[in-house]
Amino acid sequence: MRVLGEQALTMDKYTSSDRLFLLIHAKSGNLMRFGIVKKVAKAVSPVIRMNVAFAFLLEKAVHNYMRKLAHEVNIKYHTGLIACQVPAHVSLKQPFAVSDLDRIEAYFDTLGASIKPFAMDLPRVALSEDRSVLWLEVAETIALRGLHNRLNHELTEQFGATNAQCDGDDYRFHATIAQLSQATGASMELNQEKWLNSPVGFRSRVTELAMFYNKSSNARTGQFTTYKIVSLGGS
């Protein structure tokens, strides 16, 4: 048996085969006399990657309108209801990968407490530029863009690479009604609908921030659950 002794505490000195050796013997009890079983197991255990997203929740009137329209669009164009599996929301940060759920939850709590409730305008129903999403447009404000930029800066500073697929200056704030990628030709057929691009004039009082969670590293829509909701301003 190879004996690596107390040096096993510094796992980055060893090859992957030596790490596996240590883990096997740690679990079998052969390294108990070194008192490092837990430290060895933790050091060589695989890093679990998961995805989270932060979003502002919308008032009931907006939620109900969006879900009714999603149902009607699905009946007519077979778009599916995959976007309806979490509450109606406007993403502040699209899904990004993390490895420590407790740390990101603590940051999420601090973030929510630092934001005061505010009003958000959602003027009309429209299609995304690539015509893959039916959404409620959000009237961007300096404050909203500032929150997005602040979030990106703080996440990178505290957690490293947290880039999302849609992120940064080109990100357009919106509330997704339906995903159209699974419905062939739906975006073209929707052009005939009178409500498309017509004013709806919603103003939603935003008082809650949600954290959506997906236990895998796959950030696909429809695989997230609402992990936690906090009141803005810590109230």
* pLDDT digits (tens), the chain, 235 positions: 444 444 444 444 445 555 555 555 555 555 444 454 445 444 444 556 789 999 999 999 999 999 999 999 999 999 999 999 999 999 999 999 898 999 999 999 999 999 999 999 999 999 998 888 999 999 999 999 999 999 999 999 999 888 887 888 889 999 999 998 766 667 778 888 999 999 999 999 999 999 999 887 665 655 789 999 999 998 7
CATH number of 50-234: 3.90.1140.10
Residues of the chain with CATH 3.90.1140.10: 50-234
Global confidence as pTM: 0.78
**136 and 124 in contact (C-beta within 8 Å)?**
yes
